[in-house]
């Protein structure tokens, strides 16, 4: 390539993301790998038959992308790409066929980057790497919302689908066409909304502006925020009447390939906005129906059948692609309902009336992070009245807990092999006794005490007098906030579970003879996130027990420095997603949390490596804070 042409190409690349953020060396390597391609109007550039696909960067002209096959709820069957945009990014990254046919609209000049050169660039440029990951993450999030909506459709009743939109109206933010872009965005942030309607003086809609428009039309092109909002809004937005149904809104969104509809009254004035997310939220009837079955069960046999329905529902949700975060919330929520109903059924056979007590969940259930493979970790906290015999009262609770533990086992929750159950006298204690037990672990942080702390300090009340658990949590945080030696030992233990990242190879293996060439996603993947979040929470008075809530609260308190909390949480849930997929596939006992990285596609391998890096960053913060 002539030096003049090379400089022109470099100047062009420097105007568009992600190339404008790439280092000079990586950008030179990219330019040297690109080959020009001139395409005439209507000619084909790329189709699903091209495998593996190459990456194309548009320098001039427009390219039309047309979806092949069935059109789903959130798919865009037809859209256009302009100069500076690249395609098909996700397909090239995953080395799979593209789902669109790309053709020229008018004469088009594109630059082709061969698939092999794309892979090299992915490894050599951090900026390009992050751009691809962010792009793919956006597509995954879009697909996840689509699947959730479709799942909601399949599991809702007819009444919900036929509900009129007028029943879901809420205050809607409206601005005038001359309102500045900056003021509009500030209004959206303050009101915590994802869209605003641009309306005339009579309240009739002229346009709509959404969060995605902020990035695509303002931030990326560096559009002046002093300009009026009418310059970047979507004009003549799609509307729907207040008497229309949720089903009508779904159909309209699918037809127009959009995610927001402006709801208008009989005089075409703005009455509200309905989004794709709203439609899914309207229809969480499947979950409610399962809960109704659980709550109406009159015996353990009926609950056992309901427990099977819960597992099948959650397996189906995983098969449909529902995110790990939502799925673990569903699993934990339904398991909570099952546990409460088992407790209620057994209370009818035990005289505990008038006593103050609470059923506690520990471990993953206490953190709201249960997967398909989970056993029981529970206990009881109770108050012994002055006039009562403590030992006799404990025996009554133990008899009750034994029946509950057996009932849970019949519902698919195996008895804990370590006997961490409420039927064990060690874990059926008064409030003072729990405090004494916790105090001993904190003051004498021996290995067994540290192990117990990782299980029991994640407690959460499931039934009974929640105030007892809340008081115990407050007391515990008061103790651990000043227990520097204990926290240091906890941190020292936590950083020993090093994520399996290699210096030369992508991953290192623990040489498990039963499952060679595999990675333990629980012990060396999820655990570093869980342990770090727990230590930060105990050190800084964070009352949450969920790993992600602990991390979010720590970020709000500025305890995580400049770390991108969303990247950390996404890394944690990607590992959880792999664990759930593994467990759904019916892996042999002992391998539920193990994965062979060679059996993952290249994109999953790459994201897994990034997830391990996020875990390692959390451990590095512990090492820095506790000087390990």
pLDDT in tens, 397-422: 999 999 999 999 998 899 999 999 99
Query: pLDDT at position 575, please?
Result: 93
Q: Which two tokens stand for residue 544?
A: 């949450």
Of 83, 108, 143, at which residue does a domain stop?
143
Query: pLDDT at position 295, please?
Result: 79
Query: pLDDT at position 139, please?
Result: 45
Q: How far is CA 581 from CA 18, 309, 316, 324, in A?
A: 32, 19, 11, 10
Of 282, 306, 336, at which residue does a domain stop?
282
Place of tokens 């390939």: 257
Query: Does a structural domain hold residue 148?
Result: no
Query: pLDDT at position 472, please?
Result: 97
Residues 181, 117 share a domain? no
pLDDT in tens, 171-199: 788 999 999 999 999 998 888 788 899 99
Given pLDDT bands bounded at 50, 70 and 90, which one contains residue 562? low
Does the pLDDT of residue 361 top 80, yes or no?
Answer: yes
314 vs 6, more confident: 6
Q: In 503-589, where do the E strands start and end? A: 519-520
pLDDT in tens, 216-233: 899 888 999 999 999 999
Given pLDDT bands bounded at 50, 70 and 90, which one contains residue 377? very high
- 357-361/460-464 β-pairing: antiparallel
Query: pLDDT at position 454, please?
Result: 96
Query: In the beta sheet, which residues pair with residue 379?
Result: 360
Q: Which two tokens stand for residue 384?
A: 């012994």
pLDDT > 70: percent of the chain = 85
Of 143, 169, 198, at which residue does a domain stop?
143
Given pLDDT bands bounded at 50, 70 and 90, which one contains residue 133? low
pLDDT in tens, 23-56: 788 888 889 899 999 999 889 999 888 878 899 9
Measured between its terminal Cα atoms, the distance across the chain in Å is: 53
- DSSP state letters, 190-239: HHT-SEEEEE-TTS-EEEEEEHHHIIIIIITTT--TTSBGGGTSEES--E
Residues 603, 501 share a domain? yes
Longest dimension (CA), the chain: 96
Query: Does a structural domain hold residue 300?
Result: no
Query: pLDDT at position 81, please?
Result: 85
- What CATH number corresponds to the domain at position 371? 3.30.460.10
pLDDT > 90: percent of the chain = 45
Query: Does a structural domain hold residue 501?
Result: yes
- What CATH number corresponds to the domain at position 207? 3.10.580.10
Residues 173, 128 share a domain? no
Residues 173, 103 share a domain? no
Residues 177, 122 share a domain? no
Between CA 598 and CA 341 the distance in angstroms is 43
- For residues 237-244, average pLDDT: 88
Closest alpha carbon to 26 in 10, 41, 38? 10
Query: Does a structural domain hold residue 316?
Result: no
Residues 369, 252 share a domain? no
User: Residues 352, 398: contact at Cβ < 8 Å?
Assistant: no
Residues 243, 167 share a domain? yes
267 vs 584, more confident: 267
User: Residues 347, 601: contact at Cβ < 8 Å?
Assistant: no
Average pLDDT, the chain: 84
Residues 364, 410 share a domain? yes
Between CA 277 and CA 260 the distance in angstroms is 9
Q: How far is CA 33 from CA 82, 118, 125, 127, 334, in A?
A: 22, 9, 14, 17, 53
Query: pLDDT at position 206, please?
Result: 95
Helix axis angle for 126-154 and 115-124, nearest 10°, is 110
Residues 139, 163 share a domain? no
Residues 467, 343 share a domain? yes
Does the pLDDT of residue 618 top 80, yes or no?
Answer: yes
pTM: 0.59
- For residues 368-381, average pLDDT: 86
Between CA 546 and CA 532 the distance in angstroms is 12
pLDDT in tens, 322-334: 677 777 877 888 8
Residues 181, 86 share a domain? no
Query: Does a structural domain hold residue 151?
Result: no
Given pLDDT bands bounded at 50, 70 and 90, which one contains residue 306? confident
Listed in sequence order, the residues at least 6 apart from 224 whose beta carbon sits closer than 8 Å to its beta carbon are: 181
User: Residues 376, 415: contact at Cβ < 8 Å?
Assistant: yes
Does the pLDDT of residue 452 top 80, yes or no?
Answer: yes
Query: Does a structural domain hold residue 68?
Result: yes
Domain count along the chain: 4
Give the SS3 label for residue 135: helix
Query: pLDDT at position 61, please?
Result: 92
Does the pLDDT of residue 161 top 60, yes or no?
Answer: no
Residues 458, 328 share a domain? yes
- For residues 446-466, average pLDDT: 95
User: Residues 472, 436: contact at Cβ < 8 Å?
Assistant: no
- For residues 464-486, average pLDDT: 96
Query: Does a structural domain hold residue 546?
Result: yes
Closest alpha carbon to 98 in 35, 44, 61? 44
pLDDT in tens, 246-294: 767 876 775 566 888 999 988 889 998 988 767 655 544 345 556 677 8
Does the pLDDT of residue 348 top 80, yes or no?
Answer: yes
φ, ψ dihedrals at 38, nearest 5°:
-100, 130
pLDDT in tens, 565-577: 888 998 999 999 8
Q: Which domain holds residue 584?
A: 487-626
Does the pLDDT of residue 354 top 60, yes or no?
Answer: yes
Task: For 16-37, give one letter per residue: b (16+ CB within 10 A) or e.
Answer: bebbeebeeebbebbbebbeee
Listed in sequence order, the residues at least 6 apart from 35 whose beta carbon sits closer than 8 Å to its beta carbon are: 111, 112
Burial class (CB in 10 A: 0-12, 13-18, 19+), 480: buried
Q: In 492-577, where do the E strands start and end? A: 519-520
Q: In Å, how far from its chain's centre is CA 140?
A: 11
């Amino acid at each position: 390539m002539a030096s003049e042409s090379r400089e022109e190409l470099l100047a062009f690349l420097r105007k568009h993301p992600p190339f404008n953020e790439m280092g000079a060396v990586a950008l030179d390597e990219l330019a040297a790998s690109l080959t020009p391609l001139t395409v005439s109007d209507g000619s084909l550039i790329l189709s699903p038959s091209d495998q593996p696909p190459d990456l194309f960067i548009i320098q001039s002209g427009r390219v039309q992308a047309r979806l092949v096959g069935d059109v789903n709820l959130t798919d865009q069957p037809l859209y256009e790409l302009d100069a500076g945009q690249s395609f098909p990014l996700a397909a090239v990254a995953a080395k799979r066929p593209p789902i669109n046919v790309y053709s020229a609209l008018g004469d088009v000049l594109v630059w082709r980057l061969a698939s092999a050169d794309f892979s090299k660039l992915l490894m050599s440029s951090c900026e390009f790497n992050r751009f691809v990951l962010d792009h793919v993450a956006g597509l995954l999030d879009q697909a996840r919302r689509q699947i959730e909506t479709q799942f909601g459709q399949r599991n809702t009743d007819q009444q919900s689908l036929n509900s009129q939109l007028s029943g879901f109206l809420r205050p809607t933010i409206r601005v005038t066409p001359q309102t500045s872009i900056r003021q509009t965005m500030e209004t959206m942030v303050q009101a915590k909304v994802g869209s605003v309607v641009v309306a005339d003086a009579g309240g009739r809609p002229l346009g709509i502006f959404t969060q995605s428009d902020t990035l695509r039309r303002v931030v990326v092109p560096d559009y002046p925020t002093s300009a009026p909002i009418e310059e970047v809004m979507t004009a003549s937005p799609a509307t729907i009447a207040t008497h229309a149904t949720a089903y009508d809104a779904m159909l309209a969104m699918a037809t127009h390939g959009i995610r927001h509809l402006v709801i208008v009254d009989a005089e075409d004035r703005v009455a509200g906005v309905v989004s794709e997310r709203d439609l899914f939220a309207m229809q969480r009837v499947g979950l409610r129906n399962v809960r109704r079955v659980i709550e109406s069960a009159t015996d353990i046999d009926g609950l056992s059948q309901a427990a099977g329905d819960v597992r099948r529902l959650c397996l189906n949700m995983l098969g449909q692609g529902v995110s790990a975060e939502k799925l673990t919330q569903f699993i934990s929520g339904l398991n909570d309902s099952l546990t409460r109903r088992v407790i209620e059924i057994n209370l009818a056979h035990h005289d505990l009336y008038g006593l103050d007590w609470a059923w506690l969940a520990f471990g993953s259930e206490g953190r709201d992070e249960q997967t398909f493979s989970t056993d029981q970790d529970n206990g009881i906290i109770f108050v012994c009245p002055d006039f009562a015999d403590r030992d006799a009262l404990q025996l009554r609770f133990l008899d009750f807990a034994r029946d509950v533990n057996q009932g849970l086992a019949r519902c698919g929750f195996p008895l804990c092999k370590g006997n961490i159950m409420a039927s064990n006298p060690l874990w059926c204690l008064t409030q003072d006794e729990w405090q004494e037990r916790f105090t001993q672990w904190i003051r004498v942080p021996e290995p067994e005490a540290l192990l117990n702390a990782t299980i029991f300090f994640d407690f959460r009340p499931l039934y009974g007098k929640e105030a007892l658990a809340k008081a115990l949590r407050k007391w515990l945080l008061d103790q651990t906030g000043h227990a520097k030696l204990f926290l240091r030992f906890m941190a020292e233990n936590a950083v020993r579970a090093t994520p399996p990242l290699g210096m030369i190879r992508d991953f290192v293996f623990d040489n498990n003879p039963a499952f060679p060439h595999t990675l333990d996603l629980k012990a060396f993947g999820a655990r570093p996130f869980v342990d770090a979040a727990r230590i930060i929470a105990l050190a800084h008075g964070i009352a949450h027990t969920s790993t992600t809530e602990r991390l979010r609260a720590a970020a709000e308190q500025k305890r995580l420095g400049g770390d991108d909390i969303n990247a950390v949480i996404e890394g944690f849930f990607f590992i959880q997603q792999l664990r759930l997929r593994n467990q759904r596939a019916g892996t042999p006992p002992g391998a539920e949390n193990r994965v062979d990285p060679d059996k993952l596609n290249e994109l999953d391998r790459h994201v897994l490596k990034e997830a391990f890096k996020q875990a390692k960053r959390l451990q590095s913060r512990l090492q820095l804070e506790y000087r390990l």
